[in-house]
Amino acid sequence: MTQSHLALVTGANGHLGHNLVRLLIEKGIPVRASVRSLKSATSLAGLNCEVVQADITDKPSLVNAFQGVETLYAVGAAFKLWAKNPKKDIYDVNLQGTKNTLEAAAEAGVMRIVYVSSIAALNYSTVPTKESNGYNPDRRDMYYNSKNDGEKLAFELAKKFNIELVAVLPSAMIGSEAFAPLNVSYNIMQLILKKEIPVETNITLNWIDVKDVALGCYLAATKGRSGERYILANEHCMSIKETTKIAQELFPELGIKLPIAVPKPLLLAVAWGMEIGSKISGKAPLLTTKDISMFSGLQQDFDVSKAYTELGFTPKSPTQAVKEAMYYLRNNEGRFNFSPTQ
């Protein structure tokens, strides 16, 4: 494989990583895909790319993987909203992973990095939210903290090492195909189809097709300005209730009912009970009191004009993305083992 213009994707066997690898291959770009374990790279088999082992918590493995790389897509991260020890298993992993990634990139001579952050790293004090609002001041969630602090650290280290770095901030990624265990966003879709969201939480999500995000990452690499951040999302969010209505229309035979509105104190009590059960079982709860306090009523609407104007980012509508994801899940029942922890 020629090393000219070589691109590397970390977390290549994940939802976004896999789609990004395929997109780069389609564009004729030589690709090296890194995964934590080669045993988990079966979904990459047969693709015209080099697959290597590298872990964001193991800096020497990254230095080895990054040799000869021109553009690095830093996708790999701990993407979960719950853990027994969230500081250790989410925050520390993502911060150390960012530090290791930037230091290894500097040692290997990487010229440009697309750093995959998250809409979690945005300030929602004004709506629609935009990049220039700064970072999220709400410090109640370790995943959110890790994305805010991780992105800041990435920019600081890129400046220190004189590496071009562009940050992209995707919203809830779904799509018409999945290559790995279902992610958090897909799980919500699956719960709706399985009629396991009976009560209205007033939580909204900004649905985006993962293939559009993958293209947005490529556009950020080729057109994005170093030192800038770009929201990769749709303009308007959608409530769980609105998402459920789409499922009702697509699959009337399932008999899906709309979630029932309940008083917030009752909702908090239900979530508290689920948290207690999780401490015993070790499995992620479907709902936590933090989810209710942080996200109930939060409008995830965005000003995406910067990505549209500077990158040419034009994603499909959230309604279309939801429909395609639901059809995919319905047509592939039993294929994925899924849980809210993934």
Concatenate the DSSP letters of all residues of 69-128 into one string: -SEEEE------S--SSHIIIIIIHHHHHHHHHHHHHHHHT--EEEEE--GGGS--SSSS
Residue 175 lies in a domain: yes
What pLDDT is attached to residue 338?
A: 41
pTM of the model: 0.94
- Mean pLDDT, range 7-21, rounded to an integer: 95
The yes-or-no verdict on residue 220 having pLDDT over 70 is yes
Q: What share of the chain is helix, strand, coil (3-state, %, to 5)?
A: 45, 15, 40
Measured CA to CA, the distance from residue 118 to residue 131 in angstroms comes to 11
Residue 327 lies in a domain: no
Q: Which residue has the tokens 């008999």?
A: 255
pLDDT in tens, 140-185: 999 999 999 999 999 999 999 999 999 999 999 999 988 767 888 9
What pLDDT is attached to residue 43?
A: 85
The yes-or-no verdict on residue 10 having pLDDT over 80 is yes
Measured CA to CA, the distance from residue 295 to residue 45 in angstroms comes to 39
Q: Which residue has the tokens 């749709």?
A: 234
Measured CA to CA, the distance from residue 290 to residue 282 in angstroms comes to 17
- Mean pLDDT, range 286-298, rounded to an integer: 90
Residue 323 lies in a domain: no
Range of the domain at 61: 7-182+202-236+298-315
The yes-or-no verdict on residue 1 having pLDDT over 50 is no
What pLDDT is attached to residue 336?
A: 60
User: Among 21-35, 83-97, 208-222, 262-276, where is mean pLDDT lowest?
Assistant: 262-276
Of 340 and 31, more confident:
31
Counting Cβ atoms within 10 Å, is residue 77 exposed (0-12), middle (13-18) or buried (19+)?
A: buried
Residue 38 lies in a domain: yes
Domain CATH for 232? 3.40.50.720
Residue 127 lies in a domain: yes
- The two structure tokens encoding residue 210: 């993962």
Total domains in the fold of the chain: 1
What pLDDT is attached to residue 281?
A: 87
Length of the chain in residues, anyone?
Answer: 342
Residue 195 lies in a domain: no
Residue 281 lies in a domain: no
Of 83 and 253, more confident:
253
pLDDT in tens, 34-65: 999 998 888 899 999 999 999 999 999 999 99
Residue 85 lies in a domain: yes
